[in-house]
């Protein structure tokens, strides 16, 4: 038997030596292990919201009220049309009768009368969305104005739609 040759090991020796020396080289631009300024902040401390002190935008509230105004201006006409449809539906005869057809036509007129209300609600939502998309901050007072107008629009729309749904249910019998 022959003894193993050490020639391959001798050939790999410079490569192993170069690899070992490269591992000992200093690392340039290595990240520091020192504490960062953000790490000095105690995460248990409450975050103070100073946005309440920011001034509101009176032009925003006025603009949003102007966008919502057609809904409130149209409300009496819609209520009148719904009342007429309620009266005709209460006295409507069987499906297909003359009185039932008149009640259906009156219901259609009431739904059509509510169209400006629906459009105003959509325009209001779009105006608020545009304001948010613009990146302009809504301070708490502005947000309160938006919510108040939205609640008024929602109540108006909800009330009218409930009355219209009741008429539809009465005529569907």
In a domain, 19, yes or no: no
141-155 per-residue burial string, b: 16 or more CB within 10 A, e: under 16: bbeebbeebbeebee
In a domain, 48, yes or no: no
pLDDT of residue 84: 96
In a domain, 65, yes or no: yes
Written as six digits, the tokens of 125 are 């939502």
What's the average pLDDT block by block, 10 residues per block, for the chain (173 residues)? 64 75 72 82 79 77 91 94 95 91 94 93 92 83 90 95 94 85
Range of the domain at 155: 55-171
In a domain, 27, yes or no: no
The structure's pTM equals 0.67
In a domain, 9, yes or no: no
Number of domains in the chain: 1
The Cα–Cα gap between 147 and 64 comes to 11
In a domain, 20, yes or no: no
In a domain, 31, yes or no: no
pLDDT of residue 1: 54
């Amino acid at each position: 038997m022959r003894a193993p040759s050490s020639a391959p090991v001798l050939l790999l020796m410079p490569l192993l030596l170069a690899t070992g020396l490269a591992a000992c080289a200093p690392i340039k631009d290595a990240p520091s292990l020192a504490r960062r300024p953000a790490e000095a902040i105690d995460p248990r401390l409450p975050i103070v919201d100073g946005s309440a002190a920011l001034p509101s935008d009176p032009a925003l509230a006025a603009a949003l009220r102007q966008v919502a105004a057609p809904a409130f201006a149209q409300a009496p006409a819609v209520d009148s049309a719904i009342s007429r449809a309620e009266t005709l539906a209460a006295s409507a005869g069987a499906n297909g009768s003359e009185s039932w057809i008149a009640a259906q036509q009156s219901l259609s007129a009431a739904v059509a009368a509510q169209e400006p209300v629906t459009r105003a609600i959509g325009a209001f939502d779009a105006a608020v969305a545009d304001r948010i998309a613009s990146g302009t901050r809504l301070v708490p007072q502005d947000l309160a104005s938006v919510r108040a107008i939205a609640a008024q629009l929602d109540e108006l729309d909800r009330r009218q739609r409930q009355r219209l749904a009741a008429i539809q249910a009465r005529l569907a019998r």
